[in-house]
Amino acid sequence: MEGTKEKGIDDYTGTYTADYENFSDTEYVFGGTSIKREAGKELSIDCTLEVTEGTAKVFWISGSDEAVTLIETTGTYSDTITLPDGGNYIGIECEDFTGNIELNIE
């Protein structure tokens, strides 16, 4: 991981902050394959993304479904999502990305 991650109550929650410089890769920051999650199925997501160069998108992928883009331009994103049973991951996909991200999931 390029940034600093502070784990929350489980693998699905916490904070992640990172400064990227010319980074090209995909990082899966939060998530797992739990069928039953003790804290329930809802996650509150707050994200601030600053894209200086290249591209970056924060995404949510569930099972074999297509990834859902949450944010891919400079700005903020805030929403609550309901996780279906099975694997769910929040990540960031970058191509020659310079910029920073702050991601908080509760």
67-74 contacts at long range (C-beta below 8 A, 24 or more positions apart): 67/93, 70/45, 71/47, 73/49, 74/49, 74/50, 74/99
pLDDT digits (tens, 9 = 90+) for 17-53: 999 999 999 999 999 987 677 778 899 999 999 999 9
- Reduced to 3 states, what is the DSSP secondary structure of residue 46? strand
- Res. 70 pLDDT band, cuts 50 70 90: very high
Report the pLDDT averaged over residues 52-76. 96
Contact (Cβ atoms closer than 8 angstroms) between residue 104 and residue 8: no
pLDDT digits (tens, 9 = 90+) for 73-101: 999 999 999 998 889 999 999 999 999 99
